[in-house]
Chains A and B, each alone.
Chain A
Amino acid sequence: MKQIVVISGKGGTGKTVVTASFAALAEKKVMADCDVDAADLHLLLKPTIKERHIFKSGATAFIDKKICISCGKCRELCRFDAISRDFIVDTISCEGCAFCSFVCPEGAIKMRENTTGEWFISSTRFGPMVHAKLGIAEENSGKLVSLVRSKARELAQEENLDWVIIDGSPGIGCPVIASISGVDVALVVTEPTMSGLHDADRVIKVARHFNVPVKLLINKFDLNEEMSGEIENYAKKENVEIIGKVAFDEKVVRAMVEGKTIIEYTDNKTTQVIKEAWHALSR
Chain B
Amino acid sequence: MIISVASGKGGTGKTTVSTSLALSLEGKVQLLDSDVEEPNAHIFIKPEIKNVENVSILVPEVDESRCTFCSKCQEVCSYKAIAVLPSKNGAPGKTLIFPELCHACGACSYLCPEKCIKEVKRNIGILEEGARGNVEFIHGKLNIGEAMAPPLIRAVKGRIDREKTVIIDAPPGTSCPVIASIQGTDFCILVTEPTPFGLNDLILAVEVIKQMEIPFGVVINRSDLGDKKTEEYCQKENISILMKIPFKKEIARAYSKGTTIAEGFPEYKKEFKKLYHKIKEEAEK
Residues of A within 8 A of B (CB): 8-13, 16, 36-38, 40, 43, 58-59, 77, 79-80, 92-93, 95-99, 102-103, 134, 136-139, 141-142, 169-177, 191-196, 198-199, 202-203, 205-206, 209-210, 223-224, 227, 250, 253, 256-257, 259
Contact = CB atoms under 8 A, between A and B. Distances in A.
9 contacts: A10-B10, A37-B175, A79-B104, A138-B175, A172-B142, A195-B255, A195-B258, A196-B256, A227-B256
A171 B181 CA distance: 15
Contacts, number: 187
Contact of B195 (A103, A134, A137, A256): A256
B177 A173 contact: yes
Contacts of B87: none
Contact-residue bracket for chain B: 35 or more
Nearest to B79: A97
B84 interface: no
B233 interface: no
A165 to B, nearest CB: 18
Interface string B111-146: 100000000000000000000000000000010111
Contacts of A37: 173-175, 178, 204
A105 B54 CA distance: 37
Nearest to A223: B252
A133 B71 CA distance: 36
Contacts of A171: 35, 37-38, 149, 171-173, 177
Contact of A173 (B7, B79, B107, B142): B142
Nearest to B176: A139
Contact of B179 (A99, A137, A173): A137
B175 A175 contact: yes
B233 to A, nearest CB: 14
Contacts of A198: 38, 40, 43
B160 interface: no
Given A136-B204, A138-B175, A199-B40, 18 more contacts: A12-B172, A38-B174, A38-B201, A58-B78, A80-B105, A95-B103, A97-B79, A136-B211, A170-B37, A170-B171, A172-B37, A172-B38, A194-B40, A194-B43, A198-B38, A205-B144, A223-B256, A250-B225
B107 to A, nearest CB: 4
B15 interface: yes
